[in-house]
Amino acid sequence: MWRTDGQEPRQRGVDRVIREIVELRRLGFRFIALADDNFYPVTFGDLAQAKRRADRSRLLELEALRAERFELMARLAELPDDLVFYTQITMEAAEDTAFLDAMRRAHIRGALVGVESVTADGLKDVYKGFNLAGEELVARLRAFRRHDIHVLGSFIFGLPSDTKHTFDSTVALAERADLTFAQFVLLTPFPGTVDFEKWAADEQHRGTMVDGLPLTRHWLIPEERRPRLYTEHPTLSLEEIRLGTQRAWDQFYSWRQVWARSRVVESIRARLAFVLISKLYRQMYANTGIATDSARVQRSARWARWIGYCCRRLFLGKPMPDLDMPGEQIVESSFS
């Protein structure tokens, strides 16, 4: 992300964010994604490092950013209780209980966490050596659930350190960690990434042409003719990776496992809704990986549309055109 969007975060003020959310709720939207690559912008480690500096300017900057995030969550907590927010966050947030409590009060019920790999070697492959692995990872992920925040764990398959056992062990850890949802994606050298530069430097890719266009500029190739990109693995074939990834999806989203996870909600109606949404998510993102034939993709899309139509009513909210901005009534009364 930082290679394509830049390393400098672009901040939006609290008032602007709240006003946009209020406008959405007035129209009837109540499931809203807070599109932030990391909703937890200041870690305990960041603060500790800044405190060791003789110059306190960085510490004051981080403390202000942390305070602003708590202010945002306090304002979100004043909005209608039927709102449900979802965001992206790093695992370091799990050790910050005050932050997790504030997320729960702010109606932030779900977060995508980029776990990437369950092994230390795998984390080094994706430059995330700071993440935890094994049982420490399980404990860290469970902390979110203790604060009523449901995690969508994201895992990458096809890393150089992966073996034929990686797929099943990843699913087993995801289940022990009590993840509500999980996604299993293939290591793909997208343009702009370090992996793509390594992939494009390979002689066999530089010489490959499709409709007169070089494969290393695949985004110029018409989409229907564009080949799927993947990184060569030192020990596993492409087919082994594809089948292992599909097996992970099938295991985690089996009827038995989905029904067991549906206990996060209470009523039978809510549990049935959970099952439908889980199956919709699986249908949207599984069965469409590399080396997947077009017929399977089309069949998956048809099922996704049918399930999505059934789920649509679950996400509708009654419009609230008269919803006030938090604090507006207090300000008006003070001038009356």
Classify each residue of 45-61 as buried b or exposed e, where b means 16 or more C-beta atoms within 10 Å of its C-beta: ebeeebeeeeeeeebee
Which token pair is 33? 């994604």
Average pLDDT over the chain, rounded to an integer:
86
Out of 96-105, 112-121, 261-270, 307-316, the most confident range is 96-105
> At 118, phi and psi to the nearest 5?
-100, 0
Rg (alpha carbons) of the chain, rounded to whole number: 22
Say which residues have a Cβ less than 8 Å from residue 94's Cβ, sequence separation at least 6.
Answer: 100, 140, 141, 143, 144
- Give the count of beta carbons closer than 10 Å to the beta carbon of residue 211: 9
Give the pLDDT confidence score for residue 224 in this predicted structure.
75
The most confident of 6-20, 98-112, 297-311, by mean pLDDT: 98-112
Confidence of residue 14 (pLDDT cuts 50, 70, 90): very high
pLDDT-derived band at 324 (thresholds 50, 70, 90) equals: very high
Query: Residue 292: is its pLDDT beyond 60?
Result: no
> 179: how many CB neighbours lie within 10 A of its CB?
23
- Name the band, by pLDDT with cuts 50, 70 and 90, for residue 131: low
Q: Give the percent of the chain with pLDDT over 70.
A: 91
Cβ atoms within 10 Å of 320's Cβ, excluding its own: 15
Other Cβ atoms less than 10 A from the Cβ of 258: the count is: 20
What would the pLDDT profile of 179-202 be if each residue is shown by its tens digit? 999 999 988 888 777 888 888 887
CATH number for the 12-335 domain, one of 3.40.50.300, 3.40.50.1820, 3.80.30.20, 3.40.50.2000?
Answer: 3.80.30.20
